[in-house]
């Protein structure tokens, strides 16, 4: 009997170790860092019953299903991109020599050109953003494209739904894409009612469960909207009441969004179309004609990044910004858990005399991330990096200011999830007037910040410091 039981036990055990070997094989072919590869391999050998399912859920860094979907629809998307680059407003298509190398790199990363003739409006809080979103939606005459990481069925969500239902009744088409993990608490009633009104709705995973299996660690973190192909929005604001501080005990979240008119909206639309194609296997007919005359004179690049790209595009975006900064680089991010490449680049920038300032929140929606940030204080202070904690409310904006040469507003955080696991999108603007607005906005934010010092870390208890260092080990998952 004992022998039979052992024999029965040997079969699943053998299968488990075969699965562990298959995971190790994949790690050896695809690993990014030796440290991470060694950690996974040791776990798979020593604790396969825990490490195998963990690796299947969290160990992959390329979104394989999306890559296949991109290849299947690549020709039509490539044709649209070629058409975009051939517009007279495109001033820095990949391969052209008259634009700076630094900005040319960003074009190649995003597979999109810088365009001229844009007009951008900086939206500095939730109230201003929702007012602009509602107005643009009300003015749409042909279609509305929406893509948000978090959608709630609260007051803001109900207002959005009411406007969309009204526009649908007027004959405006609505395509709505949301992330099924970020919007896990979105009510089914909200979705069903909007669908019944005629909206086409898809989540980032529902239509592709088979292709997406074992890839739940990937998120579509983008927040964008396009109206008729001529007006677009991008930034850090999701669709929820937290940005208005409607709860009695809650301060409104501090966030930043951007309204864009002009040819750069085509870049937002292309990013949306690729995501929609993945989620629904359909490609609606949209307006790709450039506005004539252009509505403004600002130069803008839309930079989509994500785990389906050939390179780690978001990491390279940050490294490109930091390494090319000459006088200053200010970065606002609610999550500050940089990897060693980014931290080393920040240190080198500070050591060569660049004014490096990192704005992070004092109050956070993730205590693990908040604790991890403390562990960087000694490294940062010794190099001259200023880490500033925003005091009132929760600061959720994602903004980068490089010298007085360009500013970026988008969805990417300074953490591993944004750099390697999330689909993000950023609008980069070289207009002196827009840069000055961003500079003034960040200066006001800095007045509401407290600069952290080494003492904030060194004078805490040994248990606190050990906890911070331990949490930092989880950086690849935060």
Which structure tokens are listed for 179?
Answer: 């992330």
Active site residues: 221, 223, 228, 396, 398, 403
Select the more confidently predicted residue: 65 or 373. Answer: 373
Helix (H, G, I), strand (E, B) or coil at 35: helix
Q: Rounded to an integer, what distance in angstroms lies between the CA atom of residue 178 and that of residue 69?
A: 18
pLDDT at 65: 55
Q: What is the DSSP letter of 23?
A: H
Q: Nearest CA to 387 among 354, 363, 359, 420?
A: 359
pLDDT digit string (tens) for 310-349?
888 999 999 999 999 999 999 999 999 888 899 999 999 9
User: For the ranges 57-61, 109-113, 155-159, 164-168, which has the lowest average pLDDT?
Assistant: 57-61
Select the more confidently predicted residue: 86 or 233. Answer: 233
pLDDT over 70 at 96, yes or no: no
What CATH code would you report for 313-477? Answer: 3.30.870.10
pLDDT at 123: 97
Alpha carbon of 198 to those of 158, 165, 201, 420: distances in Å? 16, 8, 9, 35
Render the burial of 47-59: b for 16+ CB within 10 Å, e for the rest.
Answer: ebeebbeebbebb
Q: Rounded to an integer, what distance in angstroms lies between the CA atom of residue 38 and that of residue 16?
A: 19
Confidence of residue 410 (pLDDT cuts 50, 70, 90): very high
Q: What is the DSSP letter of 207?
A: G
H helices, E strands: number in the chain: 19, 18
pLDDT over 50 at 210, yes or no: no
pLDDT over 60 at 75, yes or no: yes
Chain-centroid distance, C-alpha 175? 20
Q: Which of 85-89, 228-232, 391-395 has the highest mean pLDDT?
A: 228-232
Which structure tokens are listed for 48?
Answer: 């396969």
Confidence of residue 33 (pLDDT cuts 50, 70, 90): low
pLDDT over 80 at 73, yes or no: no
pLDDT at 269: 95
Fold identical between 64-96+119-299 and 313-477?
yes
Q: Nearest CA to 373 among 254, 449, 471?
A: 471
Select the more confidently predicted residue: 384 or 463. Answer: 384
* Angle (CA) 279 290 161, round 5°: 45
Domains of the chain, residue spans: 2-58, 64-96+119-299, 313-477
Q: Assign domain 64-96+119-299 one CATH number from 3.40.50.80, 3.30.70.330, 3.30.870.10, 3.30.530.20.
A: 3.30.870.10
pLDDT over 70 at 32, yes or no: no
Entry pTM: 0.86
């Amino acid at each position: 009997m004992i022998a039979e039981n052992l024999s029965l036990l040997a079969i699943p055990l053998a299968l488990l170790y075969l699965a562990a070997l298959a995971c190790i094989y994949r790690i050896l072919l695809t690993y990014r860092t030796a440290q991470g590869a060694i950690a996974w391999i040791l776990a798979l050998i020593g604790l396969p019953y825990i490490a195998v399912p963990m690796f299947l859920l969290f160990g992959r860094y390329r979104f394989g299903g999306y890559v296949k979907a991109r290849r299947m629809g690549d020709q039509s998307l490539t044709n649209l991109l070629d058409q975009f680059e051939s517009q007279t407003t495109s001033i820095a298509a990949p391969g052209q020599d008259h634009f700076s190398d630094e900005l040319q790199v960003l074009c190649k990363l995003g597979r999109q050109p810088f365009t001229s003739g844009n007009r951008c409006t900086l939206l500095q809080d939730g109230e201003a953003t929702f007012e602009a979103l509602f107005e643009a939606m009300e003015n749409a005459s042909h279609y509305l494209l929406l893509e948000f990481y978090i959608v709630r069925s609260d007051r803001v969500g109900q207002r959005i739904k009411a406007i969309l239902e009204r526009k649908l009744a007027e004959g405006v088409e609505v395509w709505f894409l949301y992330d099924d993990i970020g919007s896990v608490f979105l009510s089914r009633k909200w979705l069903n009612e909007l669908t019944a009104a005629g909206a086409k709705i898809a989540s980032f995973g529902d239509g592709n469960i088979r292709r997406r299996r074992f890839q739940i660690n990937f998120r579509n973190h983008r927040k964008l909207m396009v109206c008729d192909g001529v007006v677009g929005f991008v930034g850090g604001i999701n669709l929820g009441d937290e940005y208005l501080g409607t709860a009695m005990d809650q301060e409104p979240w501090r966030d930043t969004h951007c309204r864009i008119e002009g040819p750069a909206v085509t870049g937002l639309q292309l990013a949306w179309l690729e995501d929609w194609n993945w989620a629904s296997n359909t490609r609606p007919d949209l307006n790709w004609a450039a506005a004539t005359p252009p509505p403004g004179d600002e130069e803008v690049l839309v930079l989509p990044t994500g785990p389906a790209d050939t390179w780690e595009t978001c990491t390279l975006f940050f490294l490109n910004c930091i390494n090319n900064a000459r006088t200053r680089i200010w970065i606002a991010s609610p999550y500050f858990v940089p990897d060693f490449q980014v931290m080393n680049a920040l240190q080198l920038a500070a050591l060569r005399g660049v004014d490096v300032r990192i704005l992070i929140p004092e109050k956070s929606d993730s205590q693990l991330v908040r604790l991890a940030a403390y562990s960087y204080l000694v490294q940062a202070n010794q190099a001259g990096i200023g880490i500033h904690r925003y005091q009132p409310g929760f600061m959720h904006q994602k903004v980068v200011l490089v010298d007085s040469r360009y500013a970026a507003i988008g969805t990417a955080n300074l953490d591993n999830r944004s750099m390697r696991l999330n689909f993000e999108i950023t609008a980069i603007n070289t207009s002196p007037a827009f840069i000055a607005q961003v500079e003034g906005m960040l200066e006001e934010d800095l007045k509401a910040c407290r600069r952290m010092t080494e003492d904030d870390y060194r004078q805490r208890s040994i248990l606190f410091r050990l906890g911070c260092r331990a949490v930092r080990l989880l950086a690849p998952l935060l």
